[in-house]
Amino acid sequence: MPAMSRSKAERRPKTPSLPGPSDLSEQSSDAAPHGASPGRRARSGNFGASESTSLLRRSKAASTTFIALVVAIAAWWGATALQLFPTYALPSPAAVAQAFVSLQQHGFGNYSIYQSIGVSLYRLAFGFLLAVVIGIPLGIAMARVKLIYRLVDPFVEFFRPVPPLAYIPLLVVWFGIGETPKVVLIAAGTVPIIIINSMSGVRSTPPVRLRVAQCLGANKWQMFRHVVLPSALPEIFTGLRVANGVAWTCLVAAELIAAQSGLGWMIQTAGQALRVPIVITGIILIGVLGYATEMIIRVAERLLVPWKGQS
């Protein structure tokens, strides 16, 4: 019997042994040069590929924007060269550039161009910050406390459809033509937008996240700090970006009617004197400054909401 068992064992095919952890470590150490593990090399390779891809996308976006600007300026120059519009109605790009140089050298009225820009930015910053300080906390409170929602929502929905321009005569009567009516007008025009987006952002918090936080033993403050607020930030920043455009509209409207300085006042005064190149220069400056403030909000959004757009 022992002989038969040995013969069966000899005829049985030998199964190759699986490599153990030590063998795998030796193979990985032999395959990875300079002591680098394959996982680390793969991660570094993926990071380098993603970085190069992001740089390529940014370069493509910048080139596309540059091409669009060149095409727009070329179309403008072509329209003036072909005299599709009278010269006093649509001056050439060269005439507008000369007007900008003249504004830098001599200013307009009693103010330099940089003083006009500074005054407009000062008014916009104070009005917009006032709207943010009021709108975001109030929108969050309306989303979380039903009593506050019932008290404030009728006023928000009542004043939201009213154009901000309708407030200008009343604000001038109340506060005169100083800085206060302009700041109040910007805040009144942008607060409803910020309130609605903040309230919508809080209400759009996924219930699954709230349940997970409750299962982990989070209290109300921890749930708000780590779940509700991060979930609401994307929509809050969307509201800020929309409110930024409305703030510039309110600012220019206030400076057109009740101001003695600023870019809106410069456009209004130059238009009355038929100095169209200065009018177009002021419009371009407002557009550039509005785009700059929009980019500031975008940068803040990328820093505070880095997970937006990621699956």
pLDDT of 190: 94
Res. 154: pLDDT tops 80: yes
Average pLDDT, whole number, for the chain? 81
Task: Please report the DSSP string for 101-116 in residue order.
Answer: HHHHHH-BTTB-HHHH
Closest CA to 267 of 85, 101, 93, 103: 103
Higher local confidence (pLDDT), 209 or 130:
130
Res. 187: pLDDT tops 70: yes
CATH class of 125-304: mainly alpha
Res. 3: pLDDT tops 70: no
CB 197 within 8 A of CB 144: no
What pLDDT band is residue 306 in, cutting at 50, 70 and 90? confident
Tell me if residue 177 falls in helix, strand or coil.
coil
CB 127 within 8 A of CB 250: yes
Q: Is 231 exposed, middle or buried (0-12, 13-18, 19+ CB in 10 A)?
A: middle
Euclidean distance between CA atoms 165 and 185, whole angstroms? 8
Res. 54: pLDDT tops 70: no
The model carries a pTM of: 0.75
Give percent of the chain above pLDDT 90. Answer: 40
In residues, how long is the chain?
Answer: 311
What pLDDT band is residue 309 in, cutting at 50, 70 and 90? low
Q: Which amino acid is at 59?
A: S
Strand partners, 111: 108
pLDDT digits (tens, 9 = 90+) for 246-259: 999 999 888 887 67
Domain boundaries along the sequence of the chain:
125-304
CB 129 within 8 A of CB 186: no
The CB density around residue 186, as the number of other CB atoms within 10 Å, is 29
pLDDT digits (tens, 9 = 90+) for 88-112: 888 888 889 999 999 988 888 888 8
The CB density around residue 113, as the number of other CB atoms within 10 Å, is 21
Report CA-CA distances (Å) from 212 to 123, 200, 247: 44, 21, 39
Q: Which whole number is the average pLDDT over 20-30?
A: 41
